[in-house]
Amino acid sequence: MLNAILSISAVTLAYCIYYFAWNSVSLRNFFDKKWGEEPAKINWIYFIRWQGVFFFGLVPLAICLVQGIDLQSVGLGFKNPVPTLLWTLGLSAVVTVLNYFAARSPDNLAMYPMIRTRLPWPRYLRINSALTWAAYLLAYEFAFRGFLFFTCLEVMPLNLAIAVNIALYVLVHIAKGWKEAVGAVPLGIVLCLLTHQTGTIWIAFLVHVAMAWGNEWWSYYWTRKKVGV
């Protein structure tokens, strides 16, 4: 029970810190003053993502180590490679196609790509953005589909553990609008079920990366096309 309480508390606190940092005017002004308008836009997103790596990834990892929790038991093992590969490829193909159409909507282009700097992006920026996205999402999926989900499964039936996971997962998407919040429900359920089936977070992580990269690249493409650069 203690591990489940710790995981729910850690994930909730991590998101609160992430949310208030994202919406901190004084912190954003500090970046603008230190780097200037254009570099600040880039460094701000990097900062937010690395902050997520710390609070969603390293803090839960530290709790696991202090509590003596086997990391394989919270989804960081490598098993069931064939179903993991097949599900990852299939779902990644689906989200990539969906992103092609969804990314061009005005609502999506109002938020993505997250780095709001002048176009076109240099190659190093596209690579760095992709890598920081992947690092952030690894921490994010470890927090949600790893630490939170598996510690809840220790003391809850599967359906209740999924319900707790989805409830928190939806809440962290509300700030991005009702469409992302609603979309988090079916996606979260599927990822929880596949995580339970394979015993690892790797499908959830890789599909989430494919979704984030696809959305960023298609949003970048449609934004460039819109402004004619």
Other C-beta atoms within 10 Å of 40: how many? 19
Q: Residues 65-121: pLDDT tens digits?
A: 999 999 999 999 999 999 999 999 999 999 999 999 989 999 889 899 999 888 899
pLDDT at 229 > cutoff 90: no
Element (H, E) at 222: helix 202-227
pLDDT tens sequence across 121-170: 999 999 999 999 999 999 999 999 999 999 999 999 999 999 999 999 99
* Burial class (CB within 10 angstroms; exposed 0-12, middle 13-18, buried 19+) of 188: buried
Q: Give the chain's radius of gyration (CA, Å).
A: 18
Alpha carbon distance 167, 165 (integer Å): 6
Which helix (H) or strand (E) is 23 found in, with range? none
**pLDDT surpasses 90 at 57:** yes
Would the pLDDT of 228 be above 90? no
Distant-in-sequence contacts of 78-86, Cβ < 8 A, 24+ apart? 78/200, 78/202, 79/198, 79/199, 79/200, 80/197, 80/198, 80/199, 80/200, 83/197, 83/198, 84/198, 84/200, 84/202, 84/203
Report the alpha-carbon distance of residue 64 to residue 62 in Å, rounded: 5
47-56 residue pLDDT tens: 999 999 999 9
User: Could you tell me what percent of the chain has a pLDDT over 90?
Assistant: 81
| Domain spans in the chain, listed from the N-terminal domain onward | 2-227
185-191: Cβ within 8 A, 24+ apart: 188/162, 189/162, 190/91, 191/145
**Does a cis peptide bond (omega within 30 degrees of 0) precede residue 39?**
no
pLDDT band at 225 (very low <50, low <70, confident <90, very high): confident
pTM of the model: 0.94
The string of pLDDT tens digits covering residues 1-41 is 899 999 999 999 999 998 898 889 999 999 999 998 889 99
* pLDDT tens digits, 171-195: 888 888 888 889 899 999 999 999 9
